Amino acid sequence: MNISEEMARYAALIEVGIDRYLPPEGTRPERLHKAMRYAVQGGGKRLRPMLVLAAAELFARRKQPGPVAAAARGLDPLPAAVAVECVHTYSLIHDDLPCMDDDDLRRGRPTVHRAFDEATALLAGDALLTFAFELIGHSYLPDPGHALVLELADAAGSRRLIGGQVEDLLAEKKAGVSAPELEFIHLNKTAAMIEASLAIGGWIGRGTEAASGPDEDIVILRRAGRHLGLAFQIVDDILDATSDTATLGKTAGKDARAGKTTFVRLHGIEASRRFAKRSSDAAVAEFEKLPGSAPFLAALARTMGRRIK
Ligand code: GRG
């Protein structure tokens, strides 16, 4: 399998889904809907929606051998993939606001509050978060929508994504952040949405079986997501310290300038590289327990390490 080609195939599908499902730019109020599209259609690696699609395909194949995706059984994972990207993009818009990270550049372009204004950015973020649940409601309720709503609400909520962000902001103001505190931040701010993307794909792949509750495969997907999320965050910290703004499409070196406690600051670059490798290896080991050994997901986890070579 050519991983780059597979990633490009998923990414192209996701772009189509985003264009299809997001409210048109001309929807009143235009400024808001333009800002929502500006943020979501402004590039990005599309990692999380890719995980939704790949996890869903895995189970669809198991139930119906051959190149038959979940869509063939009436369950299209694309709306859920778009919903997950909307939640992720909302978190980026809000993170960039002056009251949080105060950044001018995201995905190689001016941040939403720079391209529009602060109020529009705040509301575009709110609208994307709300829209994600609307899209899931329209596409999957009652079943497996019920599981998807719970999965996404938990990942995006006060104990996970928002909780991780709050502890991250508090940590910026204090000296001597400990390794367990940093792990809490990473597991929630970063890994929660990655875990949820995989579990959501899993629920969709299982289709109506989802009503019978989680099975071992969903547990494995969540565990893989936790490892992948940690690897992803460590790699992000390493890149912030070693790469440049043009390559990253966002301001490089910000963590060090802000005196922020990161994995790199706490453990150094070499140990961070080792931790990242260990975490992505652990994700690969989990993926390999899944139907057909999940070759795309395993390869995706391996590419994580390549970003820092
Ligand atoms: C505002 C509730 C709230 C949360 C913000 C996403 C986030 C939480 C903060 C952004 C800062 C950061 C370093 C978060 C860690 C996760 C991360 C690396 C996000 C960026 O994800 P990528 O690299 O972005 O997948 P693209 O643009 O490729 O989608």
- Mean pLDDT value across the chain: 91
Distance spanning both ends of the chain, measured CA to CA? 21
CA of 71 to the centre of ligand 1 (A): 29
Share of the chain above pLDDT 90, in %: 76
Which atom of ligand 1 is nearest to 190's Cα? Answer: 16
pLDDT of residue 308: 64
Answer yes or no: are the C-beta atoms of 204 and 140 closer than 8 Å.
yes
CA of 249 to the centre of ligand 1 (A): 13
Which 8-state DSSP code applies to residue 98? T
Write out pLDDT tens, residues 115-167. 999 999 999 999 999 999 999 999 999 989 999 999 999 999 999 999 999 99
70: pLDDT strictly greater than 60? no
pLDDT of residue 302: 94
Write out pLDDT tens, residues 225-243. 999 999 999 999 999 888 8
pLDDT of residue 69: 44
Which residue among 46, 48, 95 is best mutated to probe the pocket of ligand 1, counting the most ligand atoms within 8 A of its Cβ? Answer: 95
Which atom of ligand 1 is nearest to 156's Cα? Answer: 2
Predicted model pTM:
0.93
Paired with 105 in beta bridges are 110
From residue 179, give the alpha-carbon distance in Å to each of 53, 219, 267: 33, 26, 9
Nearest CA to ligand 1 atom 2: 162
CA of 190 to the centre of ligand 1 (A): 7
291: pLDDT strictly greater than 90? no
Q: Quote the CA–CA distance of 109 and 46 in Å, as a whole number.
A: 16
pLDDT of residue 62: 54
Which atom of ligand 1 is nearest to 45's Cα? Answer: 28
Answer yes or no: are the C-beta atoms of 187 and 146 closer than 8 Å.
no
Name the band, by pLDDT with cuts 50, 70 and 90, for residue 68: very low
CB atoms within 10 A of CB 309: 5
Using a 6 Å CB cutoff, which residues line ligand 1? 44-45, 47, 88, 91-92, 94-95, 107, 161-162, 165, 189-190, 233, 236
Q: What is the mean pLDDT of the segment spanning 28-51?
A: 97
CA of 189 to the centre of ligand 1 (A): 8
SS3 216: helix
Name the band, by pLDDT with cuts 50, 70 and 90, for residue 208: low
Write out pLDDT tens, residues 78-96. 999 999 999 999 999 999 9
Q: Quote the CA–CA distance of 159 and 225 in Å, as a whole number.
A: 17
